[in-house]
Structures are given as C-alpha cells and as structure tokens.
Structure 1
Amino acid sequence: MRTKLATAVGAAALIVVGIGGAQQASAAPKAAPQAGLSGSKTWGNTVGWATCSGTGTFRVKAICKWEGDKHTSWVTLRGGSAKLVPPACRFKIERIGVHQSV
C-alpha cells in the first residue's frame, strides 16, 4: 500500500514540475530577429548555428529531439556580426532558435 501511495505522490510531483516548466518557457525572451538584429539560421543532423548582425543581446538555442535543448551564452552586439554555435545534440536537432534579450 505504501508503494502505491509513494508512486502516486511521485507521479503528481512530476506533473507539477512539468506544468511549472511550461509556464517558465512562455516567459522566455522573444525570438529574433527584432529591432536591431537580423540574421540567418542553419541546422542539420545534430548541429546548427545562427549568424546575427546589428545591435542587441541574443543567444542561440538548439532544439534537440529526445533530449534537453542546448544553448550558447548571451552575446551583445554593438554593430558587426557574430556566428554562435550551441553544443551539438546527441541524436538529432529539430531546429535552431534565436532569442533576443528584452
């Protein structure tokens, strides 16, 4: 009986954690390009990158399949351009996301 109760409590905790994570994700910075930044995104197999130019602070995120997403550190551009490459996905990359700080 205790095992069933512990399992039910554990499952409920996982559901609550999952819901909390979804709420945090909706508060993420808006996707670029936005005012001040422009660029391009490229991905295939397990790797990808984005090249941005202009003015602003951004990071690049690899949306991985079957594992957690991976991202670069935030970079601030004041003119010029930068190519950011997040760590490779272990199995497959689904797409690249560019997030700009607000």
Structure 2
Amino acid sequence: MLASATLLLGATPASAGEVGALALSCKTSAGSTGGWAECTGSGKWRAKAVCDFESDKYADCVDQKSGTVRVYVPDCTFNIEKVVVELL
C-alpha cells in the first residue's frame, strides 16, 4: 500500500510548495507492520511510523546533502497506519 507523504515543519503541516522551497521531495510507503520514506534533494528530516495500539517509532535523522535517500522505519508490533516524513 502506497501512502502519500505527510510533511511537517515544526508542528505545522507543510504544503508541497513549502517542501519544494526546502529542496526536498518525499514519498512514503506503509505495509502491514513496516514501511519506508524516500526523499530526493537536500535537507534534514526523519521518518516516523505511526503505529496502532503503541507509541510511534522513529528512524534515525537524515542530514541529506543531495541525491535520493530511502530510510526504513522500525516495524510496529501490531499494525502500521502510515509513514510520515518530518522536516527538522
């Protein structure tokens, strides 16, 4: 199942235009318990697994200078709702 990227700047959702201004273009995918985020461009970000029935789980922060980077989120125990990209 492919989910669209939800991007955050601080606590405020960023629109696609804001993400372009930050030089990152991201996509996400979530399966039954895990998933990934992939960003192209430059910027600092991290991927978050939004899990059902437990706390969200985070991948390590990425300080991306260029190119494309894919990060896998830690697996949820029961079910993953979605993967979110947070801009830092």
TM-score calculated relative to the size of structure 2: 0.77
Q: What is the CA distance between 1:54 and its match in structure 2?
A: 0.2
The structure carrying a bigger helix percent of its residues is: 1
Q: CA RMSD in A?
A: 1.8
* Matched-pair identity in %: 36
The answer for unaligned runs of 5 or more in structure 2 is: 1-9
Aligned equivalent of 2:71: 84
Alignment deviations for residues 2-33 of structure 1 (CA, whole Å, 9 cap, x no partner): xxxxxxxxxxxxxxxxxxxxxxxxx5475586
8 A contact 2:57–2:74 mirrored in 1 = yes
Alignment deviations for residues 18-77 of structure 1 (CA, whole Å, 9 cap, x no partner): xxxxxxxxx547558612100210001001101101010000000000000000111111
Which structure would you say has the larger Rg?
A: 1
The structure, 1 or 2, with the larger RCO (C-alpha pairs under 8 Å, 6+ apart) is 2
- Which runs of structure 1 show a deviation greater than 3 angstroms over 4 or more consecutive aligned residues? 27-33
Q: Residue 66 and residue 43 in structure 1: after superposition, are their counterparts in 2 closer, same or farther (change >3 A)? A: same
The structure carrying a bigger strand percent of its residues is: 2
8 A contact 1:57–1:77 mirrored in 2 = yes
